[in-house]
Amino acid sequence: MENSECILEARDIVKDFAESVGESRRVLDGISFQVRPREFLSIIGPSGCGKSTLIRIAAGLETATSGEFLLDGKLVRGTDAERGMVFQKYTLFPWLSVKKNVMFGLESSGRGDDEAEEIALQWLQIVGLEKYADYYPKQLSGGMQQRVAIARALAPQPRILLMDEPFGALDAQTRSQMQRYLLEVWKNIDITILFVTHDLDEAVFLSDRILTLQANPGKVREMVNVRVPRPRNPESLFLPEFISTRRHIEELIHPKAEDSGDETFNIVNMVGKK
Ligand SMILES: Nc1ncnc2c1ncn2[C@@H]1O[C@H](COP(=O)(O)OP(=O)(O)O)[C@@H](O)[C@H]1O
Ligand SMILES: [Mg+2]
């Protein structure tokens, strides 16, 4: 792949965590992949396979034991405004209003108050929350809080948005609304998204490609192309491409039948019976 087709590159990422004195455990073992400009790329794999660790290394919140991430060909070091991050846990500052939360990243990247406020209000409009600018996070639902978190991450105009199970704490209906809403934002602005999930439907619904990982230690199984046509809507879940892609990913990440107690396995079974 030529450089112009690659915005973020993972090169042979290895991560060992210390277990006890003198002992360490390999969590990520030689992860390499490339993300294309404007792509929606998801990382999926069983719980504990190192998805959060991997995206935290990309964000600069964690350091790799060896290997590196490159953004636009430049080595990623620490956090900066080029990489926006949204987590599963609600991470808004409870003591700041919605508007001030969005302004926070802008001010720390050197904008004055007035400019930061103007940009924050524009982003709140994009996520449909301009009426809530002066509310506090606890006055908003979980889905609305995550929309503010998305506005906060996007306001400094990062090159890439990194999302770690951002809808994992939401109920099923809000979650699927948020997925459609995220696709709408992604379609309308020039942004690349790297999205971690363990939910098969979510990964297939959102992504252009899906990087599947296996666990212990975390390794790349396969990069899967998702050929489900866009725009996607709830009906997309019943398209043959959707069902076959999900089956394929299911086999990659849960190869054994003893995983039948797993929620994702049951979803596949339910749809299979329709
Ligand atoms: N700071 C840490 N110290 C030690 N072990 C960790 C740390 N963070 C994660 N781990 C371990 O690394 C493995 C991968 O964790 P994680 O990246 O959170 O996986 P996932 O997000 O795929 O569920 C898990 O076994 C977890 O216990
Ligand atoms: Mg995780």
**pLDDT tens across 93-112, in order?**
999 999 999 999 888 778 88
126 strand-pairing partners:
none
Q: How confident is the model at residue 267 (pLDDT cuts 50, 70, 90)?
A: very low
Strands 40-44 and 8-18: what pairing? unpaired
User: Average pLDDT, whole number, for the chain?
Assistant: 91
Average pLDDT for 179-186: 95
Residue 91, SS3?
Answer: coil
* 3-82+158-272 fold: Rossmann fold (3.40.50)
Instruction: Please report how the helices 113-126 and 98-108 are oriented relative to each other, as an axis angle in degrees rounded to 10.
Output: 130
Q: How far is CA 213 from the centre of its chain?
A: 15
**Average pLDDT estimate for 169-189:** 94
Summarize the confidence of residues 220-241 as an average pLDDT: 97
Rounded Cα distance between 226 and 223, Å, is 10
pLDDT of residue 271: 45
Task: Choose among 182, 213, 177, 206: nearest CA to 41.
Answer: 206
| Ligand 1 neighbour 49 (Cβ under 6 A) | yes
Q: Give 257 Cα–ligand 2 centroid separation in angstroms.
A: 23
Domain boundaries, the chain: 3-82+158-272, 84-157
- Give the mean model confidence (pLDDT) for residues 65-91: 94
Mean pLDDT of the region 35-49: 96
Residue whose CA is closest, atom 17 of ligand 1?
Answer: 50
- Per-position b or e across 166-190, b if 16+ CB within 10 A of its CB: bbbbbeeebbbebbebbbebbeeee
What distance, in Å, lies between the first and last C-alpha atoms of the chain? 40
Residue 105, pLDDT score: 82
243-250: list long-range contacts, CB under 8 Å, 24+ apart.
Answer: 243/271, 243/272, 245/204, 245/210, 246/200, 246/201, 246/204, 246/271, 248/224, 249/44, 249/200, 249/203, 249/204, 249/210, 249/212, 249/224, 250/200
Question: What pLDDT was estimated at residue 256?
Answer: 65
Q: Is the CB of 56 under 6 A from ligand 1?
A: no
Question: Rounded distance, CA 90 to CA 224, Å?
Answer: 30
What pTM did the predictor assign? 0.91
pLDDT of residue 137 exceeding 80, the answer is yes
User: What atom in ligand 1 is closest to the CA of residue 49?
Assistant: 22
| Nearest listed ligand to the Cα of residue 56 | 1
CA–centroid distance, residue 75 to ligand 1 (Å): 23
CA gap 2, 209 in Å, rounded: 18
For residues 11 and 32, what is the distance between their CA atoms, to the nearest angstrom? 5
Q: Which two tokens stand for residue 176?
A: 């699927």
pLDDT for the residue 108: 78
Helical segments of the chain, H only: 51-59, 98-108, 113-126, 142-154, 172-188, 200-206, 240-253, 263-272
Q: Which two tokens stand for residue 251?
A: 């086999």
Confidence label for 260 from pLDDT (cuts 50, 70 and 90): very low
Percent of residues, the chain, with pLDDT higher than 90:
83
Q: Is 245 in the pocket of ligand 1 (CB under 6 A)?
A: no
At 1 the three-state DSSP class reads coil
Say if ligand 1 is within 6 A of residue 136 CB: no
Separation CA 220–CA 30 (nearest Å): 8
pLDDT at 269: 45
For residue 255, the model assigns a pLDDT of: 72
